[in-house]
Amino acid sequence: MSGDEEALALSPDRRVTWSAFSGPDEEVDPEIVLAFHDLCLVKPVDDDQWYMGDLKQDGSVLCWSAYDGLYEALRGL
């Protein structure tokens, strides 16, 4: 759907945080992590939203944008 032939499904066993900008970062419990080069889409456990963020060198993800569904998140790439 993204058209990125190098997209990867990554293990959700990693640190994921949501940067609220107006307060402290929040931990996210990831169910699905999709990597598109240095960007990731993350679907949290028990949440229908998808978060976009940066894949860091240590494997963690810092999310800074949220979408109501996978389709909208893919369009945001």
**What pLDDT digit, counting tens, does each position of 65-76 carry?**
999 999 999 999
Whose tokens are 């810092």? That residue is 62
Examine the pLDDT at 52 and tell me if it is beyond 90: yes
Residue 1 domain-assigned?
no
**pLDDT for res 2:** 52
Q: What total of structural domains would you count in the chain?
A: 1
Residue 53 domain-assigned?
yes
Report the C-alpha gap between 14 and 72 in whole angstroms.
24
**pLDDT for res 1:** 53
**What pLDDT digit, counting tens, does each position of 40-51 carry?**
999 999 999 999
CATH number at residue 52: 2.30.30
The whole domain housing 41 covers 8-76
Residue 37 domain-assigned?
yes
Whose tokens are 């993800």? That residue is 61
Residue 2 domain-assigned?
no
